Chain A
Amino acid sequence: MHDYTMPFGPQHPSLKEPINLALELDGNYITGVKMRFGYVHRGVEKIFEGKDVQKVLYVAERVCGICSYAHSSACTRAMEGILGLEAPTRVKLLRTIVAELERLHSHILWAGFGLHEIGFQSMFMLFWRERERVLDILEAITGGRVHHNYNKLGSVRYDLPKGCEELMRKNIAELEENLPGLIKEFEKNSVVLARFKKVGKISRKDAITYGLVGPMARGSGVKSDIRKIDPYEAYDDIRFNEILEEGGDAYARAKVRLTELGESISIIKQCMSLLPPKPAEKWKWPPIKTGEGFGRVEAPRGEDFHYYEIEDNIVTRGKIRTPTLANIMILEKMLIGAEIGDTPVIVASFDPCIGCMERTMVIDKGKKNWFTESEFRRKFCD
């Protein structure tokens, strides 16, 4: 038996986005990992600079292609904080509905993706069939299936269209009918159990030390739901549970996500019953101010954090911390000691969003390919 290093990615059937892991192997077991990122870095924070606040709202949404609305709401929260705007109740409820619909679609997408990883194609298709119903509602409300562009500062672009509430009721009833069966099958299927149980364990202590967020932390029993910790939009007025699991393995994280589906459906139904009858007013131009502020929201993958500095409504500095960026550092620890065949499942159990995560890039120049903070500032910031 030889020791050797095996590249995993950037192009790999189990990776939807490019990362490169150099896996050092001892037989079938991983003894060391070198992670390499930077394939999809787009410099979004630089693009923000010099743009008007409302424009940044649209560009921020393009950070991610799955949890796009989460970025938009984090940006809205930050900007509204700076500008001193407060959205009316109906607008808050509408935003909550869209955010929860997005959580539904993202978690269902993950379920399909995780099952595809272990070769369970039929259930992958069945999950994604349900996802289509969610996307239809999103398209009806916002006009976009992926990028919604729904938020305006202090308002939303438009109210619910005619006939939308019937469509929502119909599709949500269908989801409520079909999802529990699928989730039950997921929980007891022997293939799923064999591949997900006891794989990629994270202890509660590690989850806290590494500062994990979202379902990654909640799968290890750490409370991390921003909707509970720091309520925003309409989450204050709505009853829902924070889902915690104790297992800490890929299966526990899957269970957190799947149980959250039911919670999201219940939140949407509560929001719909709370909607005040008077339609939301048309959006207005925001006031002009200078200041800095941050906004954080619970994206489907965890806490999404946006920071902005604005000068007369022109953004001079933006900074984003996406959930995957907070989570990714534990990947190395999880992989060491695991079997090589479990790598796709471990990576998938992150629900990784690499495009979101690429926040900085180090350019290899000659021999030196690292910077200290002061060098970095001198080179790129001043």
Chain B
Amino acid sequence: MNFGEEAILNLFRKPFTDKYPFGKKKVLDRFRGWIVYHPKKCIGCKLCEKNCPIGAVKFHKKGKIDFDMGLCMLCGQCGDVCPTQAITYSTEFENAKPKKKFTAKTG
């Protein structure tokens, strides 16, 4: 590799980095972002609460579950164990929010 050559070639190349705030990067399908909870699908089995490694899930009643997204490490276990796919993961990765908004989205 020749640095002079590389520098001249780079003048004509598109930037490799994303123009982040203006053009959002497209994340891939499997990306685990902010949790989405679907209360209608939930059957109230409590498996998600039992299986969260760090206790970020708080089960109140069927259709009402609190996810502490400040604690959640997006490991994907709750979504894996849910028998009815009532927990899914969005592709949203901008997760810096005020603390009172640290709850899962409902879908």
Contacts and interface: CB of A to CB of B under 8 A. Distances in A.
Contacts of A132: 16
A61 B73 CA distance: 11
Nearest to A58: B75
B3 A122 contact: yes
Contacts of A182: 1
Contacts of B29: 161
B77 A140 contact: no
Contacts of A140: 28, 30
Contacts, number: 59
A144 B33 CA distance: 9
Contact of A55 (B6, B28, B32, B53): B53
B51 interface: yes
B30 A58 contact: no
A54 interface: yes
B76 interface: yes
Contacts of A158: 30
Contacts of A59: 53-54
B79 to A, nearest CB: 10
A144 B73 contact: no
Interface residues of A, number: 30
Contact of A149 (B3, B52, B54, B76): B76
A359 interface: no
A98 B32 CA distance: 17
Interface string A147-161: 101000000011001
Nearest to B31: A143
Interface in B78-102: 80, 89
B73 A58 contact: yes
Given A59-B54, A142-B30, A143-B32, A157 B76 contact: yes
16 contacts: A54-B51, A56-B53, A58-B53, A61-B75, A122-B3, A126-B6, A129-B16, A142-B30, A143-B30, A143-B31, A143-B32, A147-B75, A149-B75, A149-B76, A182-B1, A185-B1
Interface of A: 51-52, 54-56, 58-59, 61-62, 122, 126, 129, 132, 136, 139-144, 147, 149, 157-158, 161, 181-182, 184-185, 283
Given A58-B77, A136-B28, 11 more contacts: A52-B51, A54-B51, A55-B51, A139-B27, A141-B30, A143-B28, A143-B30, A147-B73, A157-B76, A161-B29, A185-B3
What are the 3 A-B residue pairs with the smallest beta carbon separation, nearest first? A181-B1, A143-B30, A55-B53
